[in-house]
Amino acid sequence: MGVPQAPIRIRPIGSPLQWAILSKEPGVVVQKQKKIVVRTAALAGFAMLVGCGCHDSLRSGPLKFDDAKLAELRNTLPMFSGRDGRKITWSQLLDEAANVDVIVLGEQHDDAVGHAAQLAIVKDILATGSAVTLSMEMLDRGEQAIVDDYLAKIIDREAFVERTASTRWRKISRDYLEGRIDRNTFGKRIRKIGWPDWENNYQPIIDEAKSNRARIVAANTPWARYTSLANKEGFARLEALASSQKALFELPHEVLRGPYRERFWEVMVGRREGEASFVNAEGEQDAGAAHPAISDEQVLGMFRAQLIMDATMADSIADALQDGADKVIHLVGHFHSDFEGGLVQELRHRRPGVQILTVSMQKAKAAQLRKQDRGRADVVVYTPHLRNSG
């Protein structure tokens, strides 16, 4: 049995992985003897929440998709209705997209095939000539002026990427998981984390929108500030801020209950709200162990932070429609939108009658809709893992 190290508290922070922010407060106990196993389990659990298959991405290099590969994806990606399981063709997907106000593309953040599918969808919808706005979880309201400067050619591509995206997460995560850096160093570096492989996953989508003179909305709230306040101090603290601060976030219309909240608890702590949970000195779940796991109060704080992101993104989408967009395409981690998630609920509240098409990218090989994906989204797209042949 190893000696417990200082605990790790995991909370949502709005960055690409949104996991493993370290503190000295009570939380998950990490053991020296099993540190890699326990850390990996913790990272994987939160990665599931935010839509990131961390381990595949750490092992493989970036994939690049030219027009020929995109054409192949359009013809070969397995897609199914999340309602009844029927097979969906690419043209049918575009037909459904043509009849809605908002297309939500739920992703796993490091899914190269999924991002290529997003790019193909964005290309094809932009080609229709509609007034399309691209909205992104990966950009926050504090970065809107930078986005607008890039669209107006005031800054170049290199400056835009430098000011909005850091892609150091891959090396930082690998170094931590393999023991080359300690917990404190990891904590400091992870706070400056960026989105996985921005250059190949996100920038091509942004550049496609730019080349078509589409508006791009930095939809999220700055993660390091207001989600943290919601987590630690609650919504009342946010309500007391100045109007200039409140312009960077939105409060949810309610603290949601129901399936979204239940799934959050299950992913975060592997149990239902109200159930007791403990970890023993080996880092294993044990109802009789001496070390308490993450409490319901702590999870509720994390959930409040999640709801701030949902509400802010939903409000940004609603504003884009109000400002004249015929259609908004929103890129987001799939947990926010799957199974009528918090983003979708907030958007329906803020824009009654809005027509939404939800698409969920799932990194899996499947010849038919999997049982666990029924009801996940209007369209479920399976994006099998591919290795870079180049």
pLDDT tens readout for residues 354-365:
999 999 999 999
CA–CA separation, 186 vs 197, rounded Å?
Answer: 19
On the CB side of 179, CA atoms within 13 Å amount to: 7
Query: Any idea which of 32-41, 81-90, 154-163, 166-175 has the lowest mean pLDDT?
Result: 32-41
Question: What pLDDT does 181 receive?
Answer: 84
- Classify domain 35-382 by CATH architecture: 3-Layer(aba) Sandwich (3.40)
> What mean pLDDT is reported for the chain?
81
* Mean pLDDT value across residues 71-94: 97
Residue 98 has pLDDT above 70, yes or no: yes
Question: What pLDDT does 56 receive?
Answer: 45
Query: Any idea which of 90-104, 130-144, 216-230, 369-383 has the lowest mean pLDDT?
Result: 216-230
Between residues 54 and 120, the one the model is more confident about? 120
Percent over 90 (pLDDT), the chain: 62
> What ranges do the domains of the chain cover?
35-382
Secondary structure class of 343 (helix, strand, coil): helix
* Mean pLDDT value across residues 210-218: 98
Question: What pLDDT does 185 receive?
Answer: 80
CA–CA separation, 307 vs 231, rounded Å?
Answer: 10
Are 292 and 3 in contact, with CB atoms under 8 Å apart? no
Query: Any idea which of 88-102, 229-243, 268-282, 332-346 has the lowest mean pLDDT?
Result: 268-282
Residue 103 has pLDDT above 70, yes or no: yes
Dihedral over alpha carbons 286, 289, 292, 293 (to 10 degrees): -20
Phi, psi of 387 (to 5 degrees): -100, 150
Token match 């824009």: residue?
A: 351
Per-residue pLDDT band for 188 (boundaries 50, 70, 90) equals low
CA–CA separation, 74 vs 77, rounded Å?
Answer: 6
Question: What pLDDT does 27 receive?
Answer: 35
CA–CA separation, 364 vs 318, rounded Å?
Answer: 32
* Mean pLDDT value across residues 163-184: 69
pLDDT digits (tens, 9 = 90+) for 13-61: 333 334 333 322 333 333 333 333 334 434 444 445 545 544 444 334 4
CA–CA separation, 220 vs 110, rounded Å?
Answer: 18
Secondary structure class of 353 (helix, strand, coil): coil
Structure tokens at 277: 């949970």
Residue 309 has pLDDT above 70, yes or no: yes
Residue 265 has pLDDT above 70, yes or no: yes
Residue 81 has pLDDT above 80, yes or no: yes
Between residues 347 and 2, the one the model is more confident about? 347
